[in-house]
Amino acid sequence: MEFTAQTIADFLQGKVEGNPDAKVSDVSKIEEGRPGTLCFLANPKYEKYLYTTEATIVIVNNDQKLAEPVKATLVRVPNAYESFASLLELYNSFQPQRKGIEQPSSVASSVQMGEDVYIGAFSYISENVKLGNNVKIYPQCYVGDNVVIGDNTTIFAGARIYHNCKIGANCTIHSGVVIGADGFGFAPQSAENNYKKIPQIGNVVIEDYVEIGSNSTIDRATMGSTYIRKGVKLDNLIHIAHNVEVGENTVMAAQAGIAGSTKIGRDCMFGGQVGIAPHVTIANGVKLGARSGVNNSLKKENEVLIGAPVQPFTDFMKCSAIFRRLPDMKRDLDLLKKKLEDK
C-alpha cells in the first residue's frame, strides 16, 4: 500500500510542506529513514536528523523551526508524536484480519461463540467455552472446559488456558502464556519428607484491557480466584502465583515474579526481575526499580523503591556507592583503631 503526503495530511488534518504527491509505503525511525518511508520528529534531540534523513515524508510539529534546508516533504500537525501513533494504529488495522474456523481444529459442540470469531487450525476449544464477538484465537491454542473469553480479545498461537478461567474483553494474550495451571501448593508429610499435593480448585479471573506477554504464567487459586484487574499490562516470562491479586492499571516488566496470596495495588509499576514475597500487600502507585526484592508489605502509596530489601531510591544509590568503598572504610577504621590503641 502506498500513501501520498496529501492523503496523510488529510487524514491527520495537517498541512503539506513540499511535494504533496511524495509517496511512502513503510515507516521508519528518523535516524534510520530510507526513501519511501514515513517518519516523525517530536523530540528536539533528534532535530539534526531532520536535515539528513533519507525518509520521504516527515511528520513534524506545527511550530517546528527549520535551521537548514530539508529534503523530505513535511506534514505539519499539532502533535507529531500522537499523529504518528494514530498512523501506526491505522497501519496495523490494515493488516489482514483473521476470521472463521480453520480446519482441523477441535471445537466442542457445547461451545458458544459470538460473531466474527477466528479459531486457528489445531486449536482445541473444550466443553462449554463461551467466546465473545470478534474473539481471535490463533492456531494451536488450548482453551479448557467452561472458559469464558470476552469480546475483541486476541489469544496468540500456542497460549493455554486451563478450565474454568475467565478472560475479559479487549485483552491480548501472547504466545506461550499459561493461564490457570495449578498453584504451587503441597503439604509436607513429615514422616517421609515428601509432599502431598493440595488440590487447586480455584481459577484465574482476568479483567478487561489486560495484555500478557509471551510465556508468562498465571496460576489458578487454591480456592477462589487469582485476579488480574482491568488494564494490567504484564511483560514476558512473568510469574503470578496462586491467589495473587494485581490491581488495576499496574504494569510489570519482564521476568518479575509475585509469590502466592500477595495483593498488589493499582497503578503500580515494577521493573524487570522484581520479586515479591508471598502474603504481602503492596500499596497503590508503588514503583519498584528493576530487580527489587520485597519481603514485607509496603503500605505507603506512591513510594519509589529499589534494592533487596527495598529502600527509597536515593538512599539506595547512596548506600550502593558506599558499598563500593567498603574496603577503604575498613582500612580507615582499622587505622583509627590502631592509632587509638597506640596512645
For 87, how many CA atoms within 13 A lie in the half-sphere containing its CB? 30
Measured from the CB of residue 189, what is the shortest distance to a second copy in angstroms?
A: 10
103 closest CA partner among 124, 128, 130, 126: 124
Q: Contact between 66 and a second copy (CB under 8 A)?
A: no
Q: How far is residue 306 from each of residues 72, 275, 286, 326, 332, measured CA to CA in Å? A: 45, 11, 11, 20, 29
Measured from the CB of residue 132, what is the shortest distance to a second copy in angstroms?
A: 19
| 279 classed as catalytic | no
Q: Pick from 43, 99, 112, 201: which binds a second copy (CB under 8 A)? A: 201
Looking only at residues 301 through 330 of this chain, which bind a second copy when binding is defined by CB under 8 A?
Answer: 308-309, 311, 315, 318-320, 322-327, 329-330
Answer whether 30's CB lies under 8 Å from 56's CB.
Answer: no
Q: Which listed residue (163, 174, 239, 242) is catalytic? A: 242
Measured from the CB of residue 204, what is the shortest distance to a second copy in angstroms?
A: 12
Q: Count Cβ neighbours within 10 Å for each residue of 9-24 and write b for 16 or more, e otherwise.
A: beebebebbbeeebbb
Q: d(Cα 175, Cα 23) in Å, to the nearest integer? A: 35
Q: Contact between 332 and a second copy (CB under 8 A)?
A: yes
Q: Contact between 133 and a second copy (CB under 8 A)?
A: no
At 125, which helix (H) or strand (E)? strand 124-125
Q: Pick from 167, 235, 245, 265: which binds a second copy (CB under 8 A)? A: 235
Complex with a second copy: residue 105 or 133, whichever CB lies closer: 105
Phi/psi of residue 173, nearest 5 degrees: -115, 120
Complex with a second copy: residue 14 or 120, whichever CB lies closer: 120
Q: Pattern 72-111, binding to a second copy, x per CB under 8 A?
A: -------------x--xx-xx---x-----x-x-x-----
Q: Contact between 8 and a second copy (CB under 8 A)?
A: no
Q: d(Cα 280, Cα 295) in Å, to the nearest integer? A: 8
User: Near a second copy by CB under 8 A, which window of 9-17, 48-56, 58-66, 291-299?
Assistant: 291-299
Q: Pick from 19, 27, 101, 297: which binds a second copy (CB under 8 A)? A: 27
Q: Pick from 47, 54, 116, 182: which binds a second copy (CB under 8 A)? A: 182
Q: Extract the C-alpha cell encoding 111.
A: 461451545
Q: d(Cα 11, Cα 162) in Å, to the nearest integer? A: 44
Count of residues near a second copy by CB under 8 A: 101
Q: Is 314 helix (H, G, I), strand (E, B) or coil?
A: helix
Residues labelled as active-site residues: 242
